């Protein structure tokens, strides 16, 4: 039996971008094992992030911010959502991190959140294509 590829989406607070990416990958590529995490996770997701995901039929209300572990990094293909805080983001020191450089959704209005969501969706769909070709 072939083990599914593990994908890890990382940002500092694990309350927005990485959670959107996790929800999108679960929907479009359930064959992959996906998780998101952060180095300083918040206690809950950004409410408007949940709302913009519901607009495209993805419910992430059950997802919770999680703390990033070295084990997660070691076992996964790691995607940095755009966090560049070297003190808070140890995965920057991993050789094969994919970096998407996506804006932080914190304190953004709903229109900006939609743009961020759509950018993440495009990145996720491109990632799926690349992973399926491997």
Q: What is the CATH number of the domain that holds 57?
A: 3.40.50.2300
The predicted pLDDT at position 93 comes to 53
Active site residue 11: yes
From the candidates 7, 11, 35, 120, which is the catalytic residue? Answer: 11
From the candidates 15, 60, 79, 83, which is the catalytic residue? Answer: 83
Instruction: Establish if 112 belongs to a structural domain.
Output: yes
The predicted pLDDT at position 9 comes to 95
What confidence tens digit (pLDDT) does each residue in 77-125 have? 999 998 755 555 554 556 678 889 899 998 999 999 999 999 999 999 9
pLDDT band at 1 (very low <50, low <70, confident <90, very high): very low
Query: Domain range for residue 66?
Result: 6-128
Instruction: Establish if 133 belongs to a structural domain.
Output: no
CA 57 to chain CA mean position, Å: 17
What CA–CA distances, in Å, run from 75 to 5, 33, 55, 97, 106? 9, 11, 32, 12, 28
Is the model's pTM score more than 0.75?
A: yes
């Amino acid at each position: 039996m072939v083990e599914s590829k593990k994908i890890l989406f990382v940002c500092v607070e694990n309350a927005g971008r990485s959670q959107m990416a996790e929800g999108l990958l679960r929907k479009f590529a359930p064959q992959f094992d996906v998780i998101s995490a952060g180095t300083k996770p918040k206690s809950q997701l950004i409410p408007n992030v949940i709302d913009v995901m519901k607009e495209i039929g993805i419910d992430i209300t059950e997802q919770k911010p999680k703390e990033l572990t070295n084990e997660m990094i070691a076992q996964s293909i790691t995607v940095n959502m755009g966090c560049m805080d070297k003190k808070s983001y140890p995965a920057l020191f991993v050789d094969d991190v994919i970096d998407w450089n996506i804006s932080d959704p914190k304190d953004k209005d709903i229109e900006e959140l939609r743009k961020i969501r759509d950018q993440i969706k495009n990145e996720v769909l491109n990632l799926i294509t690349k992973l399926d070709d491997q």
